[in-house]
Amino acid sequence: MEHKETVLVTGGSGFIASYCILTLLRKGYNVKATLRTLQKAELVKQMLHEGGLRDLEGLSFVIADLQQEAGWEQALAGCRYAIHVASPTPHTEARSEDDFVIPARNGVLFVLRAAKKAGVKRVVLTSAFGAVGFGTVKTSPYTEEDWTVLNDTVFPYQKSKTISERAAWDFMKKEGQGMELAVVNPTGVLGPVLSGDFSHSIQNIKQMLNGSMKACPKIISAYVDVRDVADLHVKAMTLPQAAGQRFIAASGEGLSLVDIARVLHKHLGAKASTVPTRELPNWLIRLMAVFNPKLRAVAPYLGMVKRASSQKAISLLGWQPRSTAESITATADSLIKFGIV
């Protein structure tokens, strides 16, 4: 029996992480998944079953928390690779930017330091498009050469992603000799949900389907399927040409919310009766935002055009993302199947 390589996946119960685990186990790797508490182990197993995987023999769990350095060396012992997906998501009571930024940056450094000590060959960091395309206005698609410019228009989450990714590259330059880093920067993540825990981008589709979004704000963003994000992580982990590179994960350059609504109508027919197809003018949303906290959160994004190019991952790694329409319909079908909408 050949010795299987072991991969550490951090934040094992998350949406992207669970698909990374699925993909790795299917490819015959052993996976150690970190959780803050072992109470979520059953949920992860359930999600993997939901994803079609019956044999979980190669999977084990280990407790580690991004808020503290203890536990990471032990977690990474015996691992050939690490995929660092987890980002400490501050609870709603997060008051200041520091509540986002400090745990995210420290967490990345805890993982990299421990990985270096454990003799890990390569770490793949899940960053975000939030570290690429904010603080600037650009009509052409953003590429890996772009970095978010930290100014007053950038939200704490995007700041945390930018600062923590920069910290990772700095660490590699100063202390990373002998270890490799690759970074994946996903755009809005869609795809079939495996539980009630899913990405922020799916909330838009959920709100369209449950009727809570009455009309579409004018926002254009790029999206990507979670299954393709996981595939890109594994390519970034194993292919020699991925070392030292960052990769935007996007399927097509971008869609508006009205475009998404149209796909839902075409796919679901009568089941999409609550999905709004009109676009609201920006001034009206800004006016309504004065009285509606939900809209207040949307207001800064109005009129935003964030197109992205994945040409680098496609040409350098042979990555082939599925169409955004396919991701949108798979997302909707899974939300209906789970009774989430």
Reported as a single tens digit per residue, the pLDDT across 5-31 is 999 999 999 999 999 999 999 999 999
Amino acid at 115: A
Q: For residue 280, what are its two tokens?
A: 């609201």
CATH number at residue 82: 3.40.50.720
> How confident is the model over 126-155, as a mean pLDDT?
94
Cα distances (angstroms) measured from residue 322 to each of 27, 41, 178, 194, 249? 20, 30, 35, 19, 11
217 in Cβ contact with 257 (< 8 Å): yes
Note whether residue 215 is domain-resident: no
Note whether residue 77 is domain-resident: yes
Note whether residue 82 is domain-resident: yes
Ramachandran quadrant class, 40 (left: phi over 0; alpha: psi -120 to 50; beta: rest): alpha
Note whether residue 203 is domain-resident: no
Note whether residue 71 is domain-resident: yes
27-82, pLDDT tens digit by residue? 999 999 999 999 999 999 999 999 999 999 999 999 999 989 999 999 999 999 99
255 in Cβ contact with 220 (< 8 Å): yes
194-203, pLDDT tens digit by residue? 988 787 889 9
Q: Can you say how many angstroms the Cα of residue 122 is from the centroid of all Cα atoms in its chain?
A: 19
What pairing do the DSSP bridges indicate for beta strands 305-306 and 223-225?
unpaired
Judge whether 161 counts as a catalytic residue: yes
Residue 220 CB neighbour total at 10 angstroms = 17
Note whether residue 204 is domain-resident: no
Q: How many residues does the chain have?
A: 341
Nearest one of 252, 230, 232 to 242, comparing CA atoms = 232
Please tell me which residue in 116, 159, 161, 206 is annotated as part of the active site: 161
pTM given for the model:
0.95
Ramachandran quadrant class, 324 (left: phi over 0; alpha: psi -120 to 50; beta: rest): alpha
Note whether residue 151 is domain-resident: yes
State the total domains in the chain.
1
Note whether residue 299 is domain-resident: no
240 in Cβ contact with 249 (< 8 Å): no
Q: Quote the domain boundaries for residue 230.
A: 6-190+224-250+309-317
